[in-house]
A and B are shown apart, each in its own frame.
Chain A
Amino acid sequence: MRTPRTRAPSLNDLLKQYECGAVIFSGDPNASYERHLVFDHVVVPESANLRVRFEAVAKSLRDLLVQRWLKTGETYDRDNPKQVYYLSMEFLIGRSLTNNLTNLLVEPIARELMQREGLDLIQLAQQEPDAGLGNGGLGRLAACFIDSLATLQIPAMGYGLRYNYGIFRQEIQNGYQVEHSDRWLRRPDPWEVPRPAEAVEVTVNATVRLENGVETLITDHPARLRGIPFDRPVRGGEFLSLQPDGRTGAGQPRLVQSALALRP
């Protein structure tokens, strides 16, 4: 007789469920973390700095996500369900490392890795900048809604803009706000997946010219805008039950951002 599962499954069950095959998360030269460390960054593991280690952990987590993500796509293709498209100028999602660790239920694996490598999880998490995709309350609401859509396994996709320089970084000088660019993409973001092959060009009948630090809009001077989609998986919470049949992708809507780059 089957008894309903009331507590979290073992890590081995989890990894099997995520279809990671023979690849283990870390603790072996051929494990996901060690391979990302060495082959993505071409460094001797012992000499890797904290940022590089963060990227390797994040990439290993993304590997776990990818398997479920593709399953989600397969489910959508097969069932052709009605889908939600959530358009927002902002998605204030913050940092993704801790979110994904928690929602994939693999925090114990990460803790084990931290202990072996003598790392501190909080310090590692701090290597990730807040995503510069949102700033305010409505941006946070959009992020919560995407999280909930994922958690409830409602087929959905969020669309927004991938701000190269974030919204802005605030500084107070003499009691007044001074805005700086937020260079959150200065180092590669481990979560996003660029899709240059799906780029779209839009022609607009205006050009922006930058002269002496001043932007002027020149009308009747066509310019082409090139939008490159970047995909970003959002993993829902799985606190109550897990679907061991792998039939659905356990709710991972794609959060797609279009980067608009001006092409003269």
Chain B
Amino acid sequence: MQDSRGWYNPHWHYDHKPESRRALDLIAANIFSQTESGIFAPTWDMLLTHGDYYRHLADLAAYAETQEKAGSLCTQPDVWARKAILNLGHSGKFSSDRTIAEYAADMRNTPPTSGRRSPAQ
């Protein structure tokens, strides 16, 4: 759905995609707001009437599929753990040590108080 902003039309999804129609109908039928009828009307309007800048309905099927996949992975602890460790192992760039070392060297010019080298240098 990369370049669909020009032609994205939530009504098309409502008319042609059963999962979109079902989700919106559940909201409209107050299934999630049984004691407070209508409180999610603004959400319904945002998704359908106002065109939905973020094009949620275009992603709904893929989102549900992925959620399903995560659900079945969750029942296989070994596979889950493997994926979790790999994810963590690949997140090194996001370490705050790296961020701070770069800020300190490139922007603030504040060297460490000892001769120890910081990881990013």
Q: Contact residues of A with B, CB < 8 Å? A: 72, 75-76, 79, 81-84, 141, 144-145, 147-149, 151-156, 174-175, 241, 243, 247-249, 251
B interface majority secondary structure: loop
Q: Which residues from A are CB-within-8-Å of B116?
A: 153, 241, 243
Contact B96 A148 (CB under 8 A): yes
Is B37's beta carbon under 8 Å from chain A? no
Partner of A151, one of B35, B97, B109, B110: B97
In angstroms, how far is the closest chain B Cβ from the Cβ of A205?
36
Contact A154 B100 (CB under 8 A): yes
Q: Which residues from A are CB-within-8-Å of B110?
A: 81-84, 154-156
In angstroms, how far is the closest chain A Cβ from the Cβ of B49?
25
Contact B113 A153 (CB under 8 A): yes
Contact B96 A144 (CB under 8 A): yes
Alpha-carbon gap, A248 to B97, bound state (A): 19
Is B101's beta carbon under 8 Å from chain A? yes
Contact B109 A243 (CB under 8 A): no
Contact B113 A79 (CB under 8 A): yes
Contact B96 A147 (CB under 8 A): yes
Q: Which residues from B are CB-within-8-Å of A153?
A: 112-114, 116
Is B64's beta carbon under 8 Å from chain A? no
Q: Mark B104-117, 1 if CB is under 8 A from A, else 0.
A: 10001111111010
In angstroms, how far is the closest chain B Cβ from the Cβ of A241?
7
Q: Contact residues of B with A, CB < 8 Å? A: 35-36, 95-97, 99-101, 104, 108-114, 116, 118
Chain B: CB-nearest residue to A84: B110
With A84-B104, A152-B118, A175-B36 given, can you name 18 additional A-B contacts, CB distance below 8 Å? A76-B113, A81-B110, A83-B110, A145-B100, A147-B96, A148-B95, A148-B96, A148-B101, A149-B100, A152-B112, A153-B113, A153-B114, A154-B110, A154-B112, A155-B113, A156-B110, A174-B35, A241-B116
Please judge, given known A-B contacts A82-B109, A84-B108, whether A248 and B114 are in contact too, CB under 8 Å: yes
Alpha-carbon gap, A181 to B96, bound state (A): 31
Alpha-carbon gap, A154 to B97, bound state (A): 11
Alpha-carbon gap, A258 to B116, bound state (A): 32
Alpha-carbon gap, A6 to B108, bound state (A): 32
Partner of A81, one of B35, B95, B100, B113: B113
Q: Which residues from A are CB-within-8-Å of B108?
A: 82, 84
In angstroms, how far is the closest chain A Cβ from the Cβ of B89?
16
Some 14 contacts from A to B, beta carbons below 8 A apart, are: A75-B113, A82-B109, A82-B110, A84-B110, A145-B100, A148-B95, A148-B100, A152-B118, A153-B113, A153-B114, A154-B100, A154-B110, A154-B111, A154-B112
Contact B114 A145 (CB under 8 A): no
Alpha-carbon gap, A251 to B111, bound state (A): 12
Chain A: CB-nearest residue to B98: A148
Q: Which residues from B are CB-within-8-Å of A154?
A: 100, 104, 110-113
